[in-house]
Amino acid sequence: MIFDTLLLSLVIAAQAVPPQATQLPPPPPAVPAPVTAPVEVDTRPYVELVTDAGRMVVRLETKRAPITTANFLRYVDSKRMATTFKFYRTTRSWGEGNALVQGGNRGDARLNYPPIAHEATTATGLTHCKGALAMARLAPGDATSDFFILLSDIPGFDADPAASGDNAGFAVFGELVSGLDVAEKIYAAPVSPTKGEGVMVGQMLDPEFKILSARRIPAPADAPKGCVVKGA
């Protein structure tokens, strides 16, 4: 009887005590996701040139010089560049401040595509820095297959509207991204003392260096930023 009375009193007491509210800790503040810069995909074409002297890779500025780039790629994609193209000229006689090697179709002129419109550096925003790839020409608008690679900065090749005479300069459309040692090997190679005409006498390579293959390749992971795009 006493036990029942005690149990009843405990039940009544338990019912009389208000339940304790359960206090949960506040949720942690949301951590914002890290902001990452979008990965810029390099969609510019890269071309591998394999020569007697070794391998070079050039990058083409499709958006800035679309006409000149399309012309170069036309020779690459049609395999004409690997048929009769050679590096045949070095300007070593001009000194280190005006260094370049020149290549082009040295076989059947009928393999040349029609001349292309001239894309001046004042329009493209490109410049003739060391490594620049540009088209050879006599007059603006007569370039076909010949091109050159600069081995020194030659700002005088840029278009200059303030200059007198032919001030349109040459059309830069890309640059060398690997194989500088190969280009320098060609630059330093022996020349003929008699071949060539006018200023080109003493600049004609003997022997010439064949382009054995020319093909598009994916963008190299270690491709340098380069210098032909002004202000980049």
Ranges of each domain in the chain = 50-217
Per-residue pLDDT of the chain (232 residues; tens, 9 = 90+): 433 443 334 334 444 444 455 566 677 777 777 776 666 788 999 999 999 999 999 999 999 999 999 999 999 999 999 999 999 999 999 998 999 999 999 988 999 999 999 999 999 999 999 999 999 999 999 999 999 999 999 999 999 999 999 999 999 999 999 999 999 999 999 999 999 888 899 999 999 999 999 999 999 999 999 999 987 6
- Reported as type and span, the H/E element at residue 145 is none
- The pLDDT of residue 24: 65
- The pLDDT of residue 10: 37
Could you tell me the CATH superfamily of domain 50-217?
A: Cyclophilin-like (2.40.100.10)
204 CB neighbour count, 10 Å cutoff: 18
- The pLDDT of residue 37: 61
**CA–CA separation, 77 vs 100, rounded Å?**
25
Q: What is the pTM of this model?
A: 0.82
**CA–CA separation, 61 vs 63, rounded Å?**
6
**CA–CA separation, 115 vs 58, rounded Å?**
22
- The pLDDT of residue 7: 34
User: Alpha helix locations (H) across 125-196?
Assistant: 180-187
SS3 content of the chain, % helix, strand, coil (to 5): 25, 25, 50
CB 54 within 8 A of CB 183: no
Q: Which two tokens stand for residue 130?
A: 């060391």
